[in-house]
Chains A and B, each alone.
Chain A
């Protein structure tokens, strides 16, 4: 088993002992319970209402806790989980194609390049089947076959078909399922919903998390909310790159504020760059659009063999003049290699000057063969909505001309460090879904984000939180009049005041864009020590400039989206530096983290298991002090650690 022993006394992963396949059962059999009459006396705050947050809040409400759920959106249904297209993995083995809990566990560990905690991943694979059952029972309209049973498809990085999907809108349907479960609890009075409220700080009393400070985005009023435990489900931080496939409002504020209060940040440099996105078209661009990875099941990726064909109409380029580079380099997986590998291969092709289109930063994803083989109708049935979306954005028709795609920031594997119980290093503060660092190691497999978010919220946290809350049954109601609440509220008000009173000349947007450029150039698909050191200095300078020349219009005591954005970008300006520090400290290449100094002769990532088989967990030490690195050693006892190969 992979007992994640802590190399540092502070870092105890608390993975249970015993056989890997029995740990979770064993844990559930012995974890302390909170009796129904005591649950009524316990308050839990959930921050964020995406897949992880909505499922957690609904499930905790069903259990009988008093739940307060916060979202900065107008409605829980807007969370960015809604945009996930491709699907959700589960080890159902409905296809009889050799899938099992162990296979899903193994694929996830391997896909994560042996940088994830074994016990967590095995648990994820174990509960995956129950997620599908739960969602179907809620009325999620998954794709079905003519016999009325559920359909599956294959997804990048695996050789079995274990992905359940709902057209190209799986995230939407799953989120609506969780949103409806949450709405039901709201109507039953077990969950109180606070929309348009943004968490701006965590409050700790005597070392325990006891509540949060939020800003009512409509009135600007700063409020205190107390609870016996707080669960952060605020998603990932991909927008630190400015351009990403994340929704415009995705941010790190909740996780970063928790970090500043003592929660360690795990593996901040692990970023997923998704291979199939619509390329950047101009400097006014506000975000990038993902094209589902499922397109790689039928689309073939290529570039011209010669740079002179870069701008030639692709339909006029003969077969013999095309380089189907994924099929050539990785014959066993072909176009279905994992995301990090597909992304890097696209970068290599473009770096060699073979990138197509005006910018030279794009490769073709071609459906001509699929249309010939299956017919246009079949291709339309599988990908119609994606093709339509592509045409709306680019003006090109992918049934006739190959799509142009390029990698873009999509997901962050890093996040708040959590133990086996999903608790951060602050007692009573939990993190679920993309907000935590846990299950994906250095690279996430396709269709695993939805699985993890819902696993955490429906089937893991509701059990593990009892372990902590069982000791809180006689605590009684926590008062927001405590001096720590007062202090935290004051600090939030001071920072808001500071942001609105700089009175400089540059917009928040312009700072965000500049930060994004630094991050993408120096901490993006490929990184090196020199670039990272430079990036750290540039970010520090940018941060100084931000705090002396920022211009935020409007007032603090009103609806003010510019102020909201300024606070979030201020946090990104601190996180960006930590990501670079982490990337610099990790002197190896693994998964989404590619250090140019560490590659094989063939240009593949070169891990260093001897020195770097650990989770980096960073401790905040103050604004002008370097964060301190703690390590959680990863010991693989179930899986044989191997060089990851998809050839």
Chain B
């Protein structure tokens, strides 16, 4: 099928603009990124700069791929990363608009590649359990209720791609941050540092320049792992509880 791609180019000879590319022969079984591979091979053979985009596992789990496709992070399908979108969902003659994830805290590096290291810094601020190697007791010494472990897993399934930020009109990272807060707050292992963790992570999130949450819930709608906004409610609750604790308790 014949498609037109309207792609954001930035860096190198491009100051920041949309450029149109025609692809005459797209196979419906191709993945979206394989289509971009084909485009890039053509650009390289014409000695033009290929379109930079991030990708790695192409199995929907590493969180590298991004792209806002026709206005939606990770494209049109629910619960799907860009790498898992296949061209059979498009039609002859379609024009597809491809942009990077846009947010103040995700500066553009080149074309469709953005810097998401702010997410790493949020995790570094407290998204862990402080347990050195070798300190652990037997794994079965602390039972965890199956359903509770399941809820924790649902939050831990976040792949750190940043679609929640790209979807949010405020470029808020509340869904990402709250998913980590929930993952650990729902497990017995995460209890000791619970209050300290939420205070630090929220502070870091603000420092990175992410916006506030105004309950639009676009983050949940676009999350490729369908992480629930219930996590944001839990984070707010955790945060509020923590602020009532005395400083000595948290330090």
Contacts and interface: CB of A to CB of B under 8 A. Distances in A.
Are A and B part of the same complex?
A: yes
Contacts of A562: 44, 50
A433 B134 CA distance: 19
Contact of B145 (A73, A135, A139, A148): A148
A284 B86 CA distance: 13
A314 interface: no
Interface string B11-28: 110000000000000010
Interface in B155-174: 156-157, 159-160
Given A130-B136, A248-B56, A392-B86, A282 B64 contact: no
Contacts of A147: 143
Q: Could you say which interface size class chain B belongs to?
A: 35 or more
B245 interface: no
Interface stretch (B93-101, B184-192, B205-213, B229-237): B184-192
Given A141-B183, A562-B44, A180 B127 contact: yes
A286 to B, nearest CB: 5
A80 B57 contact: yes
B246 interface: no
Interface residues of A, number: 80
A393 B106 CA distance: 30
Given A92-B139, A248-B58, A392-B80, A559 B113 contact: yes
A561 B52 contact: yes
Contacts of B60: 389, 392
B168 to A, nearest CB: 20
Contacts of A62: 132-133
Contact of B160 (A77, A141, A149, A462): A77
B135 interface: yes
A148 B146 contact: yes
B58 A138 contact: no
- B contact patch SS: loop
A248 B128 CA distance: 29
B4 interface: no
Interface string B104-135: 00000110010111011001111111111111
A138 B56 contact: no
B88 interface: yes
A374 B226 CA distance: 27
B1 interface: no
Given A138-B131, A247-B57, A281 B143 contact: no
B120 A75 contact: yes
B49 A554 contact: yes
Contact of B44 (A92, A181, A186, A507): A507
A247 B77 CA distance: 22
A89 to B, nearest CB: 14
A125 B119 CA distance: 36
27 contacts: A75-B119, A80-B56, A82-B57, A83-B57, A130-B134, A136-B136, A137-B131, A137-B139, A142-B139, A169-B61, A169-B157, A172-B157, A179-B123, A180-B127, A183-B123, A186-B124, A193-B120, A249-B56, A282-B29, A284-B27, A389-B59, A389-B60, A553-B43, A553-B47, A559-B109, A559-B113, A562-B44
Interface of B: 11-12, 27, 29-31, 33-34, 37-38, 40-41, 43-45, 47-50, 52, 54-64, 77, 80, 84, 86, 88, 109-110, 113, 115-117, 119-120, 123-140, 142-146, 149, 152-153, 156-157, 159-160, 183-184, 187, 189-190
